[in-house]
Amino acid sequence: MDEIDRKILDLLQRDATLSTAEIAESVGLSTTPCWRRIQILEQEGYITARVALVDRNKVNVPLDVFVAVRTDEHNIDWLDRFAGIVCDFGEVVELYRMSGDIDYLMRVVVPDMAAYDAFYKKLISDVRLTDVSSSFAMERIKYTTALPLEYAEQRGRTKRKRG
C-alpha cells in the first residue's frame, strides 16, 4: 500500500459513489491505472464492501444504547448461542467481546425507550445473562465509518506493476 492507495481508500470511505474518473483526478492518475488499483484493493481485502449510509432519523432509530453484558458462562457453546441470538436482532448494529469487567458490549439503535425495553425483554428471555447494564447516548458528538489510514503499512505490493 502506498500513498496513492491510501488516498483512494480515503476518498472511497467518504463517498463510495465517486466515479473512477473522479477518484483518478483527485489522486493524480489516469482512469485505467486508478481502476486497476481499486480492483487490487478489493481483491486484497482492503475494500470489503460498498454501502449506503442511511439517515437514522428518517428511518426512526435516533437513540443509541450501549449495552454492557456480563455472564458467568465462558464456553464456546454459550458464546455461539449468544452471538447467534444477538446477531439476529436488527437493533444490534455492533457487538464486541471485551476484556475487563464486562464480557460483551453492544450498540443498539432504537426509536425510543419503549422500543429499547421491548428489545431488552426479548434479549433476557432468549439468553441467560448475569448482568445487563445500559447507557443511553444523550448526544452524538462524532461518528464516522472512515478508518484512519496513516497506520496502513507498506505491504509487499511493490513487485506488481502500479499505475
156 has a pLDDT exceeding 70: no
Specify the pLDDT at position 154.
63
The CATH number of 63-136 is: 3.30.70.920
> Would you say residue 52 has pLDDT above 60?
yes
- Rounded to 10 degrees, what is the CA torsion of 94, 99, 103, 107? -20
pLDDT band at 159 (very low <50, low <70, confident <90, very high): very low
Q: Which of 100, 95, 97, 104 is nearest to 70 (CA)?
A: 104
Q: pLDDT tens for residues 77-131?
A: 999 999 999 999 999 999 999 999 999 999 999 999 999 999 999 999 999 999 9
* H helix runs in the chain, sequence order: 3-14, 20-27, 31-43, 76-87, 113-126
Q: What is the fold, at CATH topology level, of the domain defined by 3-43?
A: Arc Repressor Mutant, subunit A (1.10.10)
Q: Which three cell numbers stand for residue 35?
A: 481502476
Determine the residue type at 1. M
Q: What is the pLDDT of residue 56?
A: 96
SS3 112: coil
pLDDT at 100: 95
Does residue 105 contact residue 98 with C-beta atoms inside 8 Å?
Answer: yes
The residues with which 66 forms a beta bridge, in sequence order, are 107, 135
- Please say if the pLDDT value at position 5 is more than 70: yes
Please tell me whether residue 3 adopts helix, strand or coil conformation. helix
Is residue 137 within 8 A of residue 65, CB to CB? The reply is yes
Of the candidates 23, 29, 22, 25, which has an alpha carbon nearest to the alpha carbon of residue 10? 23
Listed by start position, the domains of the chain span 3-43, 63-136
Position 157 pLDDT exceeds 50: no
Q: What is the residue-averaged pLDDT of the chain?
A: 93
